[in-house]
């Protein structure tokens, strides 16, 4: 198992089941974490590599989740005409873009987007085939490709964390610092001052970035109290994190 922190000024984590980037997930999904590890390792074909699918992960939010909405204009909102014009540019056919990228039949419209502000997360990864190589690069703070938080315009930082101990334990009652599986909803002790959000996102993508599988979890802005629970207890820098892993 490996542990590392990620953080930055901004982040946006699109749900791979959607084609829109309007709304961000509050945490990075597994497919995004796979992409982050691929960036550090310099893997160009990671979507066809089973190692980036066959691992388990967990996320602990460090600090408060804050969101900001804003409007952004895209070039013709990905219309067929804009794709044709981009192909003209690739081929050097500048006459095909002489009138610019504006399309009177599909005018630009402002699109509302969400961002996470000052996000910071603890990521736990288990059973990753390239764990040793990844650990060596992280310890030296080396990334072979740019490291970003969801979108290339949002540069990110990462830091390797040493794990002092890992233990799987059963508790009659305890607080979980990470998300929990939606299958365990009956074991959650709900509190009126906490917000609980059901999330569903892709756990693996094919070579065309289409979802192959998904996970369903319950996320909260506070630790989730549960009864009769099996939990992974991880000690990092003398702090104990109780987490649930998903594959």
Q: What is the pLDDT of residues 53-74, one digit of tens each?
A: 999 999 999 998 899 887 776 6
Residues 127 and 92 reside in one and the same domain? no
Q: What is the pLDDT of residue 97?
A: 66
Residues 132 and 188 reside in one and the same domain? yes
Residues 124 and 196 reside in one and the same domain? yes
Residues 128 and 59 reside in one and the same domain? yes
Q: What is the pLDDT of residue 16?
A: 61
CATH number at residue 153: 3.30.70
Q: Cβ(125)–Cβ(40) under 8 Å?
A: no
Residues 90 and 188 reside in one and the same domain? no
| Owning domain of residue 148 | 2-65+119-243
Q: What is the pLDDT of residue 62?
A: 96
pTM listed for this prediction: 0.84
Q: Is residue 200 part of a domain?
A: yes
Q: Is residue 43 part of a domain?
A: yes
Q: What is the pLDDT of residue 82?
A: 65
Residues 161 and 39 reside in one and the same domain? yes
Q: Is residue 172 part of a domain?
A: yes
Q: What is the pLDDT of residue 209?
A: 84
- pLDDT (tens digit, 9 = 90+) per residue, 9-42? 999 998 766 655 578 999 999 999 999 999 999 9
Task: Count how many domains the chain has.
Answer: 2
Q: Is residue 102 part of a domain?
A: yes
Give the helix/strand (H/E) hosting 217. Answer: strand 211-220
Structure tokens at 46: 């990671």
Structure tokens at 7: 């953080």
Q: Is residue 114 part of a domain?
A: no
Residues 145 and 179 reside in one and the same domain? yes
Q: Cβ(120)–Cβ(9) under 8 Å?
A: no
Residues of the chain with pLDDT under 70: 16-21, 73-82, 97-109
Residues 124 and 216 reside in one and the same domain? yes
Domain C-terminal end among 56, 86, 109 = 109
């Amino acid at each position: 198992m490996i542990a590392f922190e990620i953080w930055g000024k901004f982040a946006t984590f699109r749900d791979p089941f959607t084609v829109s980037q309007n709304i961000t997930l509050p945490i990075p999904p597994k497919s995004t974490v796979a992409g982050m590890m691929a960036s550090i390792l310099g893997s160009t074909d990671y979507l066809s590599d089973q190692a980036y699918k066959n691992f388990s992960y967990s996320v602990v939010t460090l600090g408060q989740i804050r969101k900001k909405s804003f409007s952004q204009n895209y070039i013709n909102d990905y219309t067929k005409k804009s794709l044709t014009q981009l192909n003209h540019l690739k081929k050097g056919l500048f006459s095909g873009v002489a009138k610019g990228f504006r399309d009177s039949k599909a005018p630009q419209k402002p699109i509302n987007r969400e961002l996470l502000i000052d996000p910071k997360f603890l990521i736990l990864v288990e059973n990753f085939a390239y764990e040793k190589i990844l650990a060596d690069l992280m310890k030296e703070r080396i990334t072979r490709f740019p490291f970003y938080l969801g979108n290339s315009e949002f540069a990110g930082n990462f830091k390797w964390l040493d794990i002092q101990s890992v233990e799987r334990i059963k508790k009659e009652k305890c607080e979980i610092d990470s998300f929990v599986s939606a299958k365990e909803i009956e074991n959650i002790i709900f509190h009126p001052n906490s917000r609980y959000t059901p999330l569903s996102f892709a756990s693996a993508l094919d070579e065309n970035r289409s979802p192959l599988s998904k996970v369903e979890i319950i996320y909260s802005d506070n630790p989730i109290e549960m009864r009769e629970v099996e939990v992974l207890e991880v000690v990092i820098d003398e702090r104990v994190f109780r987490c649930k892993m998903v594959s």
